[in-house]
A and B are shown apart, each in its own frame.
Chain A
Amino acid sequence: DAGVIQSPRHEVTEMGQEVTLRCKPISGHNSLFWYRQTMMRGLELLIYFNNNVPIDDSGMPEDRFSAKMPNASFSTLKIQPSEPRDSAVYFCASSRGPGQGSWGYTFGSGTRLTVV
């Protein structure tokens, strides 16, 4: 298994531009999570999906952020418009169920986003 695949690995964009981050979870994993990591705030859960359905998006910081999971093998996190304070490493993780909290997560390698 190739693990959780994220793209791109690095993204540098200008303020105001739209940014789309992509994630392919491990086949057979029912849950998908988007986290953001910064030095100041650590790892923050943005949103998670179970069986492609968003369960909790309370961590999404603003309406500028949106996430979709059109099928079991693909998810996107979009920021529109992007701002410098969105600069962070964004991680996607997946986990299998039932009782997903009883299993470890598998993380992707992350996307390092820099908004200038």
Chain B
Amino acid sequence: QVQLVESGGGVVQPGRSLRLSCAASGFTFSTYAMHWVRQAPGKGLEWVAIISYDGSSEYYTESVKGRFTISRDNSKNTLYLQMNSLRAEDTAVYYCARARAPFDFCLDSWGQGTLVTVSS
């Protein structure tokens, strides 16, 4: 079965960096686009970024452009989110999720999430 396990969350000071990882198993990781989605405490879902199956294309929500970088290592079945210049408003649970099919970008499998808290 599909399994996505995020790691790397924690408490970080404003302006600092953090890298999240998402280990994938149970499917052929290299053939699926992957997303990051976040949810601030008590708030709704916010789509953050997507990367194509081969890493050749990336897209971001406006508020993280230039600060966050999504990447993947298909040899390690792992998705990453490098977060730089973190702000208090980046505090959220970060989920990785799989796109349902090639060229079908709805999210059919989600990890359990990892909490990022940006605070001094």
Whether chains A and B associate is no
